[in-house]
Amino acid sequence: MLHVGMDMHKRFSEVAVLDDTGAVVDRQKLYHSDRDRMADYFRPLAGKAVVAVEAMRSWYWLYEFLEGLGLEVKLAHPQKVRLIAESAVKTDKIDAQVLAHLERLGFLPLAYIPARPVRDQRELLRYRQALVRLRTGLKNRVHALLDKLGIQQGFTDLFGKAGRKFMAEVELRPVYRLELDNYLALIDEADGRIAKATRTIKDQLKPDPRAELLMTIPGVAHLTAHLLLYEIGEVGRFPTARQLCAYGGIVPRVRQSGDHCWQGHITRTGNRYIRWAMVEAACKAPSHDQVLGQFYRRVARRRGPLKARVAVARKLLVAVWHVLNKETPYRQGHRIAV
């Protein structure tokens, strides 16, 4: 059996091929623009080699490309491949060779790879989420513009019917009118795109009892429930709720030395889509659950509303872990230990 390490970059990959003894059989620098040469190089290795690729932003296409050629592909967890990052001498060739050695010895820390249908559904849900975040950014710019001009407004929803009428009639200098009108036009465009994406997602989603259970959690609606299912994947890969929270980046940084232990802001590492979904759910949850509402107000008094929302988000993600593991609905008013 051969062991292939690929140090992947945007335009090329450095490849190192080792045999079972660890001896270097071949080295190549393959450019991603020449897919025919890449196919010619890897096709003879099908059934004879295992390829180790470090996970990065653009791993999807390479994984599917190699998988389509019949190769076994393993995705290395980038944060756990410490040996590469801490090497005194670090080159692309060495990185590729280290990946191959780790795979050969069985020490390669693997990243989770969902099945292709799950990846496709993830992509669609992430696309909708990106549109929602884009629309939120545009709305924030409108609020900032009105604040800059000292325009007071007391609308619960500035972008509702009454609020839009107000913004259409308010007197502004031409430059600010141009700015406001274009922001509003972009918001309308985003609304249409989000609605279209939502219809597509709902047409493709199949009934799932796990999603129904997740929807019993305060603040978790239909699309959020499915996003959590697809982003989490197999919940059994998280032995504890804390590990799921760490995967979502909703745990504090911890530094400990001797008798001193310091906790800082949340890590923000891991799956940012889960983190975003939980923080969005935390905006609504305190008003739907008495215990969460009391917890939110208690933390908000001490540390402010933003940190209180993150604290609620963590409790909700713990609830997600329990609901999925125990296959039971969320209990209103139940205290969630984190």
Q: Pick the last residue of a domain from 46, 71, 105.
A: 105
Which residue among 204, 225, 253 closes a domain? 204
- For residue 111, tell me if it sits in a domain: no
Assign 318 to helix, strand or coil.
helix
Domain termination residue (choose one: 204, 238, 265): 204
- 318, 245 Cβ separation under 8 angstroms: yes
* Rounded distance between C-alpha atoms, residue 150 and residue 167, angstroms: 13
* Placement of tokens 């996003």 in the chain: 227
Considering the entire predicted model, what is its pTM? 0.80
Segments forming the whole domain that contains residue 235: 210-326
- Look at residue 250 and tell me if it is in a domain: yes
Q: How many domains does the chain have?
A: 3
Q: Are residues 86 and 7 in the same domain?
A: yes
Residue 276: other Cβ atoms inside 10 A: 19
In tens digits, the chain (338 residues) has pLDDT values of 999 999 999 999 999 999 999 999 999 999 999 999 999 999 999 999 999 998 877 888 999 999 999 999 999 887 777 655 565 556 778 888 989 988 998 888 888 888 888 889 999 999 999 999 999 999 999 999 999 999 988 888 999 999 999 999 999 999 999 999 999 999 999 999 999 999 999 999 988 999 999 999 999 999 999 999 999 988 999 999 999 998 998 876 545 444 444 444 656 677 889 999 999 999 999 999 999 999 999 999 999 999 999 999 999 999 999 999 999 999 876 667 66
Structure tokens at 266: 């949340």
